Amino acid sequence: MSENYEYILKTEHVSKHFGKLEVLKDINLSVKKGEVICIIGPSGAGKSTFLRSLNQLEKITSGKIFIRDELFLHREKDHTVDRLPHEKQQELLLEMGMVFQRFNLFPHMTVLQNVYEAPVVVRKKKKEEGKAHAMELLTRVGLADKADEYPSRLSGGQQQRVAIARALAMNPEIMLFDEPTSALDPELVGDVLNVMKELADDGMTMLVVTHEMGFAREVADRVLFMADGIIAEEGTPEQIFTNPQVERTKSFLNAVLEA
């Protein structure tokens, strides 16, 4: 696989309709390797839908998605115009790890098994190797002692850290976070954000949909403000938080930061 690419991920004119409802309108985004991008905005803005479109949990209505400069998918009016062969697509999708708002851990597996299952069955790793790597990752998120517990015994924050370890176990190049702390009790948010910060410091490419303005401000290289299905404003955290240009951004930030 070639390592000489300009953008690890790029979208051109991506839009998405749910029936008559237009959730995404002409989204253009380019992500360089190692970049941390936070997507903020009011609910219903299409942030989650956009993230989910990237790893094909939602099918876009039209637009182009590039991964490592290769045209991954091109659709127009709900029809696929061009795409990579299926196997190649699968391979590239493995480079995207996803962390969900509601964790979605597998409840019938222990924490350790949650982490090593996919590497073993999908990446065809040896079980022993998978377990060892899983243990390493659990140590990294501070949950090595919970390896043999079932997820239901863990707090929300611990479950989310397991979910991050699970996504990392596939060795993705880019991590997508879909409101990873929105379902958590306030006192549990910090642990998860710390894990994410460490990831960012290690150079992981990250796309984070979040309502944690403090996190976005501190960790992001770039902040996107989405509203009504478009990227209304884009810039460094500095620009967006201290000197927003668009009226919609200003009112949103006022409402959020005052609360």
C-alpha distances in angstroms, 227 versus 35, 92, 107, 165, 240?
A: 22, 29, 35, 31, 14
Query: Which one, of 101, 239, 91, 78, lies nearest residue 173 by Cα?
Result: 91
Which one of 59, 88, 108, 127 is in contact with another protein (CB under 8 A)? 108
Cβ pair 212, 42 in contact under 8 A:
no
Element (H, E) at 22: strand 21-31
* Contact pick of 16, 133, 161, 166 for another protein (by CB under 8 A): 166
Asked if residues 165 and 115 have their Cβ atoms less than 8 Å apart, the reply is yes
Question: Per-residue x/- mask for another protein, residues 123 to 162, rule CB under 8 A?
Answer: x--------------------------xxx----------
Contact pick of 81, 121, 255, 257 for another protein (by CB under 8 A): 121
Least Å distance, CB 31 to another protein, is 18
**Contact call for residues 116 and 129 (beta carbons, < 8 A):** no
Interface pick for another protein out of 39, 40, 60, 98 (rule CB under 8 A): 98
Residues in region 198-257 near another protein by CB under 8 A: none
- Report helix, strand and coil shares of the chain as percent, to nearest 5: 40, 25, 35
> Residue 148 or 185: which CB sits closer to another protein?
148
Site string for another protein, 168-207 (x = CB under 8 A): --x-------------------------------------
Cβ atoms of 195 and 116 closer than 8 Å = no
Provide the binding-site residues for another protein, judged by CB under 8 A.
Answer: 55-57, 90, 93-94, 96-98, 100, 102, 104-109, 117-118, 121-123, 150-152, 166-167, 170
